[in-house]
Chain A
Amino acid sequence: MAKGKIRSKLRSSLYTFSCTSTPNKAAEAEELQGSVYSRLVYCNEPHQLSYNSNSTSTTKYNIVTFIPIALFEQFNRVANVYFLIAAILSVTPYGPYDPFSAIAPLAFVVGLSMVKELIEDWQRFLQDWKVNMRPAQVYTGHGIFESRPWKKIMVGDIVKVEKDKFFPADLLLLSSNYDDGICYVETMNLDGETNLKVKRALEITMDLDEDNSFREFKATIKCEAPNPSLYTFEGELEYNKKTYSLDPIQILLRDSKLRNTSYVYGVVIFTGHDTKVMQNSTKSPSKRSRVEKQMDQIIYILFSLLVIISIMSSVGFAYLTKFDMPDWWYLHAPDDKNLYNPQKPYLSGLYHLITALILYGYLIPISLYVSIEIVKVLQASFINRDMHMYHEDTDTPALARTSNLNEELGQVDTILSDKTGTLTCNQMDFLKCSIAGISYGQRPSEVELAAVKKMSMDFDAEDHDFSSAVSGFEEEGNAETEGTSNNQDHGRQIKGFSFEDKRLTGACWWKLPKPEIHYIFFRILAVCHTAIPEENEEGDGYDYEAESPDEGAFLVAAKEFGFEFCKRTQGSIFVREADPSSEEPVEREFKILNILDFTSKRKRMSAIVRDEKGEIFLFCKGADAIIFDRLSEDGRTFEKATKKHLSDYGEAGLRTLVFAYKKLEEADYNEWNNEFQNAKNSDSSNKDEMLEDLSDKIEKELNLVGASAVEDKLQQGVPQCIDSLAQAGLKIWVLTGDKMETAINIGFSCSLLREEMQQICISIKDEQEHDAEQDIKSDISKQIMSGTQKMKQEEDPHAAYALIIDGKALNFALDDELKHQFLHLAVSCASVICCRVSPKQKALVVRLVKEGTGKTTLAIGDGANDVGMIQEADIGIGISGVEGMQAVMSSDFAIAQFRYLERLLVVHGHWFYKRIAQMICYFFYKNIAFGLTLFYYEICTAFSGNAVYDDWYMILYNVAATSLPVMTLGVLEQDVSAEVCLEFPALYQQGPKNLFFGWYRIIGWICNGVYTSFIIFFFNILTLYTEAYRVEGQTPDMSIMGATMFTCIVCAVNTQIALSLSHFTRIQHIFIWGSIVVWFLFLIIYGAAVPETSTGSYQIFLETLAPSPLFWITILLVVIACNLPYFMHISFQRSFSPMDHHIIQEIKYYRKDVTDRHMWRREKRKGRHEAKIGFSARVDAKIRHLKGRIQKRGAVMAGQEML
């Protein structure tokens, strides 16, 4: 406790520079009486007023509303409405068959969908329940805090939140363990910002910092009504008969987290759905995949077909009824219901239209939706259970939160990614440094590693004479790769420190040249920062709580170098320094005189310290350009070497900072310090400017020490993943809230940017900021135009452009006038990075891409700031495993790591797309094949609406006889194996190009269906015409015709699906051949039922069909004849215009990939989509470069020989 207090004082003093305003405005607040605050909170008296409870619910239904709402949703689908009407009408005399035949499939289908909804909603409920049951410490009176679930928290409750816990509701901060009532809050869940924010209690409540202090606490809060604005709050606190106004700075928002503070006390102001974060959450829009939208169009086509043939058949019926039926005495027309009334042919025709519309309903695959849904749920479970997408460290499997969009994963064109937490893990690793012009640190960055690996792989496939030229490079790469892998296995891994260089880590740096410079470098690392050390749990060292992860990395590095920062007091920093002269480290004290903070404008930070000898130093670290400008003439000794190292580091994707120092004379310092203190205490309005000028004045004439290179640790496998995705032809945009420099750095480390790339930067210059909007806009337009111009004039085919745009500029670029220009420029750039973008802008960019290009977009992010874009994009992916759940909750799929995206898209997406596309095509095929036979038969029955099949056959058709095989197709079909998908990312392009669900293919399948129906009907009619059916002379009747024809259909469509599969597991065999067997079994069983039930089908199979050779040879004929064109088509296609997956299937089939590894590797390399981003592109560029050099050298040598 005591320790905390000391530190807290110190911490707040650190902030005095930046936090200039003290929030005591009580006096002003009193004047604001009588305002219109709508919410009243009696602190510590939670039962006074009733507000929303703190339990939250994201479920769609509850017990009462489930049935009506879920039913309503089901009948939102056109097809289902049609089937509902058909079912209702089938009860009337107009129904062509037994009402049961119409109602049963519909009930089955709708029921199944509803069960699925129920299960999904149940899972949401469980998730809510988990949140609602989280424990929180709530004051119960008598100085006791009790653990209570979140949902029981009420407005007015006093809660105590401990370190690293989430706030259960929106709270008013009363006090914290720090004396000055501040606390640190991480709002990553709300806005995605990773830096901590300071919240500060009112002075008046600061002392309520013990459990006991609430015994007598009574206060009233009046404040605004619940609203979604995260950054505003208006209200007032009435305490001890005085009124104090409240600011957002006192408000702790639900779902943000307490950090670096042991505990806080707060009063609950908003609960549950009233909280700002919940107010912010929008209902996630329901998304539908492209394929499904297209499927709807096909359904409309089939509807039109249905209506057309129904009308045709009604007209035919009316005509025959009027002119011919009077002659058909055996029909005894008219009947009393006017169904067959020659006197009223129009009325009868109208009734018949209803009959026909129901009868031909078999054209519309009733089970399509439900089958697709079942298939998608199974597919989703493949995602959920894919072990390759399970993240061991966080124990997180991938999660498909909706199964609607599975196939959309196979059609993605543009990926829009968040940076922090998605590409990077927000952890910095100290990797390299340059001290006194010497570069240290041998471990390669991830980018280098990946590039080397790729390069060595590629050169294997390259021609040999060339590979010898670079073999040296390669070996180096291999050595490095091995080195690291060994290290990862055996060496101890220190978080934030991946540095490896015996020269420095062996604590013998003093033997190096210029040890004094090294000494200063390490001191700057250990002293120039604002962090706080905290003894770690094992007690053998310190963890550092730093404002930014960079600083933490520096401190860890300093510790490893023998400069352990161990204590911070009000004015001093204590560092345990390894001393060359003694074994034991020596603790040294540095008096902190001033700290000149880091701001994005200054881009540097300085600490002025006095060491034990009394000497005053200014230590400074900052961005290279800034520091190099401020060096003294003498201090530039290592400038050239350092600059080279900096560019090397930059290329390796590292974040660099330059270190410099300056020794100050006592007198000079005192003079400056006086001015500085005066300025700090002054009340003038330009105080900030004054302070800045003063800082500027002293941070001059510096001496260069060196530079550090920190790896903004990318998440595992991100560069490889980006590379593969780029090769799969996907475009990747990065949208980040970070500064432009950081974003560019990350761009480099992900290989989204590389050195040779031309960067088009669009931003608003600082001095422009106050210009008129119109001027800025025209300036940005100009920048866009010039970028476009530059690209047009480019002649080098390998040239790549990168667009980097700043949030402010983006604001204008997204304007209606400019957005098309902007989009045009952006899509022709190889990579696009948008920095400093707000969550809303992220969503707008996604919308622009989505609507502007008309292609499928995928947004991936991890924080609440990404929610907008995740919801806006065609597919939203959340990074799970991190604590925040906002992104995941609004996403369609959740994966633990960015790198799983590759497998999700290239393997699962590819398969899903093909499966669903093939499945839908087949569905239409099989229903057309069946439905049209009904129509043809209609013509033979004088359009009377009689079906040749038994009612039961028709029920079975969609439900049992044909649905399972097509579902196995949808679940299990694989054109190529997962490994091949990953090896040939270019295969992915079949999805975005929609090769498998284009109109050409759809119409092909429809034609196949029409052809099949034709063959089935006419071949049956012609074989079973009038003659004897068997040797005993009986002639075929309707039931024989129906059963034979139906058997033909079942066999033909199931054979068809067997032909269209390329991957047979035992399950497919069981379902396909099983369906045929089941049909025969059904015939036997149905035929064995009493004649009243089975009517015409009584004993039909055993007595009639099976003994007749005609039956069997008809089936054989029809099945072969039906499948002949398709078989011809696929034979022909494979022979003459094979698709890529055909060839690869063949290569795999003949094991050519094993026997001819050279070819296989060559094709793998060539098969990549020629990407301009990713390290393959980098390697390509390098190879081009090397080749060019070799050619040049060859030319020179040839020239010499000539001489």
Chain B
Amino acid sequence: MNSDAPSSSSGAAGSADPATPRRNSKRPKYSKFTQQELPACKPILTPRWVISSFMLVSIIFIPIGLASLFASKDVVEIVDRYDTECVPPGSRNDKVKYIQSSTNNNCTRRLMVKKDMDHPIYVYYQLDNFYQNHRRYVKSRSDPQLKDEKDENEISDCKPEDDINGKPIVPCGLIAWSMFNDTYSFSRTNQSLKINKKGISWKSDREHKFGKKVFPKNFQNSTFIGGAKLNSSIPLSEQEDLIVWMRTAALPTFRKLYGKIEVDLKKGDFIDVLLENNYNTYSFNGKKKLVLSTTSWLGGKNNFIGIAYLTVGGLCFLLAMAFTIIYLVKPRRLGDPSYLSWNMNPGGRLTS
């Protein structure tokens, strides 16, 4: 240290020496922590650091962005909105009445494959304007009941779909009660395409959250029927549609996995879909869509992540360039004392 540092408070500086002979009771014990002298790294944001950080970000981000974009581009997606089309033209004035009264809601759709689709091809239904994330809805379920047959009476959270005539509903609650019940079957040039409905849910859900010995009871027995009915002879752990449905979506627009098509589809193929249009989205003007999609390593078709990466990467690249130019044009020597406030405005000192 400089020898000419103000000496007024360096009186006890040498006391770090453990062999100090004097023993005073109240003398603070020396430790680097209490003396605030812990060794520390004190990074400085030098121009080199600034420029290289920006460069580094752009170097990492632009390839990721490109990779994501390509991944998304590789995904082939067929989306077909059918909620209006599947209501007979005569009933389109009052779709709600149609969906509530009609018994035969069969409807056929023809989809064209515009690009080769390698298997597995995932079949989704997409609902719109459906608040699966509504507080009342989200809470209306009983996890213990789903898992363990002994807990079938744990229905306190399930109101109003908790019991029927005192007997507990399994699975209880609004979520299960309002389960999606449109069905699809596919065929290509009159040859039916098998839909694999196994493994569409998360493994942990099948194995740990939905019991193997829990069977549907008293389900959809009330007067006001919500959605799908369940086969009461199949345990919940195998009712994968239910399991998927019970994972509530985060946003009012959501897709849920319906099944997988395990064959490749070729460009120009026509897929005929026979669907049963049962689910009422008409009361709240919700769209229903059928989606066939392949996946990439990033999942489904979504350009956002790629664009965002490219934007941030590009921005960082521009910033790196801008800072470089600025440093070249108007460099500031680091630690240049002439930038100290008292040198910047020599007339007026810091506080004048």
Residues of A within 8 A of B (CB): 96, 324, 327-333, 335-336, 339-340, 381-382, 384-390, 392, 395-397, 457, 460, 716-717, 720-721, 724, 729, 899-900, 902-903, 911, 940-942, 944-946, 948, 972, 974, 978-979, 982-983, 986, 989, 992-993, 1019, 1021-1042, 1062-1067, 1091-1092, 1095-1096, 1098-1099, 1103-1104, 1108-1110, 1113-1114, 1116-1117, 1120-1121, 1124, 1127-1128, 1130-1131, 1134-1136, 1138-1140, 1143-1150, 1152-1153, 1157, 1159-1163, 1166-1167, 1169-1170
- B340 is contacted by which of A339, A982, A1167 (Cβ under 8 Å)? A1167
Contact A1098 B312, CB 8 Å, known A1135-B326, A1167-B340: no
- Complex Cα distance A336/B252, Å? 25
List of A residues within 8 angstroms of B8 by Cβ: 717, 720-721, 724, 899, 902
Contact A944 B9, CB 8 Å, known A1033-B260, A1117-B312: no
Count chain A CB atoms within 10 A of each CB in B2, B6, B300, B336 and give the residue with the most: B6
Contact A946 B253 (CB under 8 A): no
- A1104 is contacted by which of B1, B130, B202 (Cβ under 8 Å)? B202
> Which residue of the partner chain A has the closest CB to B72?
A1027
List of A residues within 8 angstroms of B202 by Cβ: 1034, 1103-1104
- Complex Cα distance A1103/B203, Å? 8
List of A residues within 8 angstroms of B15 by Cβ: 387, 390
- Complex Cα distance A329/B279, Å? 11
Contact A1149 B335 (CB under 8 A): yes
Contact B131 A941 (CB under 8 A): yes
- A1098 is contacted by which of B124, B209, B285 (Cβ under 8 Å)? B209
B328 CB to closest chain A CB, in angstroms? 12
Contact B12 A392 (CB under 8 A): yes
State which of B31-39, B183-191, B231-239 sits at the interface with chain A: B31-39
List of A residues within 8 angstroms of B144 by Cβ: 1092
- Complex Cα distance A946/B47, Å? 46
- A1038 is contacted by which of B249, B293, B350 (Cβ under 8 Å)? B249
- Complex Cα distance A401/B16, Å? 26
List of A residues within 8 angstroms of B45 by Cβ: 1130-1131, 1134
Q: Is B193 part of the binding interface, using a Cβ–Cβ cutoff of 8 Å?
A: no
Residues of B within 8 A of A (CB): 1-2, 4-13, 15-16, 22, 24-30, 34-36, 38-47, 50, 53, 57, 60-61, 64, 68, 120, 122, 124, 126, 130-138, 143-144, 147, 159-161, 174, 177-178, 199-204, 208-209, 226-227, 247-257, 260, 280, 283-285, 293, 295-302, 304-305, 308-309, 312, 315-316, 319, 323, 326-327, 332, 334-337, 339-343, 349-352
Contact A989 B351 (CB under 8 A): yes
Contact A1064 B40 (CB under 8 A): yes
- Complex Cα distance A571/B284, Å? 117
- Complex Cα distance A729/B236, Å? 76
Contact A1027 B293 (CB under 8 A): yes
- Complex Cα distance A340/B352, Å? 63
A903 CB to closest chain B CB, in angstroms? 4
A141 CB to closest chain B CB, in angstroms? 38
Contact A986 B350 (CB under 8 A): yes
> Which residue of the partner chain B has the closest CB to A1028?
B300
List of A residues within 8 angstroms of B159 by Cβ: 335-336
Closest 6 CB pairs of A and B: A1027-B300, A1028-B300, A1146-B335, A330-B178, A1041-B250, A1033-B122
Contact A946 B138 (CB under 8 A): yes
Contact B309 A1117 (CB under 8 A): yes
- B257 is contacted by which of A1034, A1130, A1162 (Cβ under 8 Å)? A1034
B25 CB to closest chain A CB, in angstroms? 6
Q: Is the interface of B mostly helix, strand, loop or mixed?
A: loop
Count chain B CB atoms within 10 A of each CB in A1037, A1145, A1148 and give the residue with the most: A1037
Contact A1169 B350, CB 8 Å, known A397-B27, A1092-B144, A1110-B299: yes
B182 CB to closest chain A CB, in angstroms? 14
Contact A942 B131 (CB under 8 A): yes
> Which residue of the partner chain A has the closest CB to B159?
A335
Contact A1092 B10 (CB under 8 A): no
B316 CB to closest chain A CB, in angstroms? 7
Contact A1035 B124 (CB under 8 A): yes
Contact A1063 B42, CB 8 Å, known A386-B35, A993-B351, A1117-B312: yes
List of B residues within 8 angstroms of A386 by Cβ: 28, 34-35
13 contacts between A and B (CB under 8 A): A327-B284, A717-B11, A944-B131, A974-B36, A1025-B304, A1033-B293, A1038-B249, A1103-B204, A1120-B57, A1135-B47, A1138-B332, A1143-B336, A1167-B342
- Complex Cα distance A1163/B36, Å? 25
Contact A989 B136 (CB under 8 A): no
Contact B40 A1065 (CB under 8 A): yes
Contact B204 A1098 (CB under 8 A): yes
List of B residues within 8 angstroms of A1148 by Cβ: 42
Contact A1098 B1, CB 8 Å, known A332-B161, A1117-B308: no
Count chain A CB atoms within 10 A of each CB in B11, B46, B160, B177 and give the residue with the most: B11
List of A residues within 8 angstroms of B251 by Cβ: 940, 1021, 1025-1026, 1041
List of A residues within 8 angstroms of B252 by Cβ: 940-942
List of B residues within 8 angstroms of A1146 by Cβ: 44, 46, 334-335
- Complex Cα distance A989/B342, Å? 12
List of A residues within 8 angstroms of B298 by Cβ: 1109-1110, 1113
- B312 is contacted by which of A899, A982, A1120, A1128 (Cβ under 8 Å)? A1120
- Complex Cα distance A983/B1, Å? 11
List of A residues within 8 angstroms of B301 by Cβ: 1027
List of B residues within 8 angstroms of A1152 by Cβ: 335
Contact A1108 B342 (CB under 8 A): no
Contact B42 A335 (CB under 8 A): no
- Complex Cα distance A1023/B27, Å? 59
Contact B208 A1099 (CB under 8 A): yes
- Complex Cα distance A904/B36, Å? 14
B270 CB to closest chain A CB, in angstroms? 23
Contact A946 B133 (CB under 8 A): yes
Contact A1033 B257, CB 8 Å, known A902-B9, A1019-B308, A1063-B42: yes
> Which residue of the partner chain A has the closest CB to B50?
A1131
> Which residue of the partner chain B has the closest CB to A1150?
B335
Contact B349 A395 (CB under 8 A): no
Contact A941 B122 (CB under 8 A): no
A526 CB to closest chain B CB, in angstroms? 37
List of B residues within 8 angstroms of A1042 by Cβ: 250
> Which residue of the partner chain B has the closest CB to A1069?
B41
Contact A1092 B160 (CB under 8 A): no
List of A residues within 8 angstroms of B352 by Cβ: 1170
B116 CB to closest chain A CB, in angstroms? 18
Known A328-B283, A387-B12, A902-B6; 10 more pairs at CB < 8 Å: A385-B29, A388-B13, A902-B9, A986-B349, A1021-B251, A1034-B257, A1035-B256, A1038-B248, A1067-B38, A1092-B144
Contact A942 B340, CB 8 Å, known A1099-B204, A1149-B335: no
- A1157 is contacted by which of B2, B34, B201, B308 (Cβ under 8 Å)? B2
Contact A332 B174 (CB under 8 A): yes
> Which residue of the partner chain A has the closest CB to B244?
A1034
- Complex Cα distance A1162/B280, Å? 82
